[in-house]
Amino acid sequence: MAILVASRSTLLRSCAPIVRPARSGLSARCMSAPAGELRKTRLYDFHVQNGAKMVPFAGYSMPLQYGSVGAVASHHHVRNSVGLFDVGHMVQSNFRGPTATAFLEWLTPSSLHALAPYTSTLSVLLNERGGIIDDTVITKHAEDAFYVVTNAGRRERDLAWFRDRLEEWNAGELARERGKVEHEVLEDWGLLALQGPEAAQYLQGLTSFDLRELTFGRCAFVPIEGFNLHVARGGYTGEDGFEISVPPSQTVEVAQMLSKPPVQLTGLGARDSLRLEAGMCLYGQDLDEETTPIEAGLAWVIGKDRRENGTFIGADGVRKHLKEGPPRRRVGMIVEGAPARQGAKIFAPSSQDQLGAYPLSRGIPLSLSRARFLIRSTDLSSRCKGVVTSGIPSPTLGKNITMGYVANGWHKKGTEVEVEVRSKMRRAVLTPMPFVPTRYYRG
């Protein structure tokens, strides 16, 4: 996956998009490539047999939608009932060894030592500057055993990073004294996401395990119709649901078992709109290596003790943004008129009334010097405050929702801005995310 990035100073100076402009988050990754170069999940033939339209995505041939059921209809079905997604393109890994906790706490800023067994957390892999190499879900099975899921589009970058850092770690003093860490990639394993308000009822009908014991962020090995599968409660839609890891030889049979009515097979089109309504990021679009977790609104993944001890890769850049504030911040917006797509520029309002009076009247801090500067500014480049990274018409809300980055100080809820859509300025209002309330099962 080709990702074009720009420096923070470039972004704020010229609002050059941090990725190649595209009509949607999905099309940014659905890049043309010869079919022979694409990977296939274990369910490729299953998708084709069920009428899927297959498209290139993150180096894989993946289902966009099935038969005559469009993305919007599939979106509503997941919000109201239950859908099944193939997410087997994601990279599943095991890290094992006496120093596994310490190793992963070096790679990420999360407090993994504080996680209880069989619980998960969202985290980030950071480069030396504090930029996000990838976002990841880390599940702790024990102090010496972790299950980690990373993005398919970052497969080569992530695996090379793991390899190099493991070599460095295992040559170090702690590993020599207490034991090394081993990394196993679960090649060709299936990963199925059963998502929606009826997901638990459907899955409960297939197992004697009491799924009420699995609250959001917890996992277990669950007996399902003769299979013993790793089941984690969570997902990428904002709905209640489960992500189920399946050995290669069992993937097709498990998918068949999980796709009976009312379950509906669901493709990438609906997955993208569901995740954006839930305010979730898509790597390569909303996140990249020039973006810190503070800019991305992910400061909550950084443990309090980790902020203090700074014993993770990229700590200096992250702690600088924590202390001084980041130069830009990820925000959500509702845009009037036509939907704003990836790459659209975000501007300060053009009229003097909006510039000077609007933020003050809404109680949003605006220094007098900045207000005077903005009122004097008529040049678009000086009014440019950010860029859209994801945007769609929301099927649930019937409004145009957008995610993007704006200069620090322009990120407050209710701030009014303008977004350039099809060569016209559209009014937009900064709105808290998620756009649609999440419905995770917490017991």
Each domain of the chain, given as residue ranges in start order, spans: 39-88+189-278, 91-185, 328-353+380-436
Per-residue pLDDT at 104? 98
Q: Specify binding-site residues for substrate.
A: 243
Q: Specify binding-site residues.
A: 243
Mean pLDDT of each 10-residue bin along the chain, 443 residues long: 32 34 44 65 98 97 97 98 98 98 98 98 98 98 98 98 98 98 98 98 98 98 98 98 98 98 98 98 98 98 96 98 97 97 93 29 35 42 85 98 96 96 95 98 97
**pTM of the predicted model, to two decimals?**
0.87
Name residue 366's amino acid.
L
Per-residue pLDDT at 214? 98
Per-residue pLDDT at 402? 98
Name the superfamily (CATH) of residues 91-185. Answer: Aminomethyltransferase beta-barrel domains (3.30.70.1400)
Per-residue pLDDT at 366? 38
Q: Check if the beta carbon of residue 153 is closer than 8 Å to that of residue 51.
A: no
Q: What does the buried/exposed string (b/e) look like for 196-219 if buried means 16 or more CB atoms within 10 Å of the residue's CB?
A: bbbbbebbeebeebebeebebbbb
The class (CATH top level) of 39-88+189-278 is: alpha beta
* 3-state SS string for the chain: CCCCCCCHHHHHHHCCCCCCCCCCHHHHHCCCCCHHHCECCCCHHHHHHCCEEEEEECCEEEEEEECCECHHHHHHHHHHCCEEEECCCCEEEEEECCCHHHHHHHHCCCCHHHCCCCEEEEEEEECCCCCEEEEEEEEEEECCEEEEEECHHHHHHHHHHHHHHHHHHHCCHHHHHHCCCEEEECCCCEEEEEECCCHHHHHHCCCCCCHHHCCCCEEEEEEECCEEEEEEECCCCCCCEEEEEECHHHHHHHHHHCCCCCCEECCHHHHHHHHHHCCCCCECCCECCCCCCCCCCCHHHCCHHHHHHCCCCCHHHHHHHHHHCCCEEEEEEEECCCCCCCCCEEECCCCHHHHHHHHHHCCCCCCHHHHHHHHHCCCHHHHEEEEEEEEEECCCCCCEEEEEEEECCCCCCCCEEEEEECCEEEEEEEECCCCCCCCCCCC
pLDDT digits (tens, 9 = 90+) for 51-106: 999 999 999 999 999 999 999 999 999 999 999 999 999 999 999 999 999 999 99
Considering the domain 328-353+380-436, what is its CATH architecture? Beta Barrel (2.40)
